[in-house]
């Protein structure tokens, strides 16, 4: 549209023509003298518009620049969304690995506490405490797995996923 607004500032030229047959009687139509033609030319020149054409060019340039900046901002937001999703995904993967190791250690501690209780070396409160620690750690593992799944979904959407096509194209009413 910038080019259109800029072109409106300059003179315009238009050519049109027509070709046909003209005769007073049907018999004289076949002769070369019955050919009629016309060629028209027109020129339009904006004489004085008070700077409106230049202003229109500037408006179109500003509109184009605004559209470019909006597009750039949209791309930057999309890149930020992808980066945030990747960072969260990586962080939750590392957290899951640490929690799984902690859950394994808590399971070993629980087994050891049960054996020590069976031998009479500790009271049952210590066994209950190791079981509580094991359950809390396992709960954290499952919570982190859920967060990891949510991170996968967030990454998929940030990369443009989630768009579905209609299975059937709508039929116009009959």
pTM of the model: 0.59
In a domain, 57, yes or no: no
Evaluate whether residue 124 is within a structural domain.
yes
Mean pLDDT of the 110-137 span: 96
29 within domain boundaries: no
pLDDT band at 12 (very low <50, low <70, confident <90, very high): confident
* Residue 145 belongs to some domain of the structure: yes
Classify residue 34: in a domain, yes or no.
no
- Cα–Cα separations (whole angstroms), residue 29 to 20, 124, 148: 10, 122, 87
Q: Which domain holds residue 143?
A: 75-158
In a domain, 42, yes or no: no
Q: Tell me what pLDDT residue 111 has.
A: 97
Burial class (CB in 10 A: 0-12, 13-18, 19+), 126: middle
Q: Domain for residue 65, yes or no?
A: no
Report how many domains make up the chain: 1
What per-residue confidence (pLDDT) applies to 56? 78
Lowest mean pLDDT among 23-27, 102-106, 117-121, 160-164: 23-27
CA distance 127 to 109: 9
Q: Is residue 128 part of a domain?
A: yes
pLDDT the model gives residue 28: 61
């Amino acid at each position: 549209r910038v080019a259109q607004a800029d072109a409106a500032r300059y003179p315009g030229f238009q050519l049109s023509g027509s070709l046909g047959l003209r005769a007073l009687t049907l018999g004289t139509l076949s002769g070369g003298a019955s050919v009629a033609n016309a060629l028209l030319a027109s020129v339009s020149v904006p004489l004085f518009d008070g700077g409106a054409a230049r202003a229109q060019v500037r408006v179109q340039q500003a509109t184009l620049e605004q559209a470019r900046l909006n597009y750039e901002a949209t791309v930057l937001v999309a890149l930020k969304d992808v980066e945030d999703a990747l960072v969260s995904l990586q962080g939750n993967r590392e957290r899951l690995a640490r929690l799984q190791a902690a859950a394994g250690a808590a399971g070993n501690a629980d087994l050891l506490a049960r054996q020590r209780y069976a031998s009479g070396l500790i009271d049952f409160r210590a066994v209950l405490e190791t079981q509580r620690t094991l359950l809390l750690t396992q709960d954290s593992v499952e919570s982190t797995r859920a967060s990891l799944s949510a991170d996968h979904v967030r990454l998929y959407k940030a990369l443009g996923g989630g768009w579905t096509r209609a299975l059937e194209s709508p039929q116009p009413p009959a």
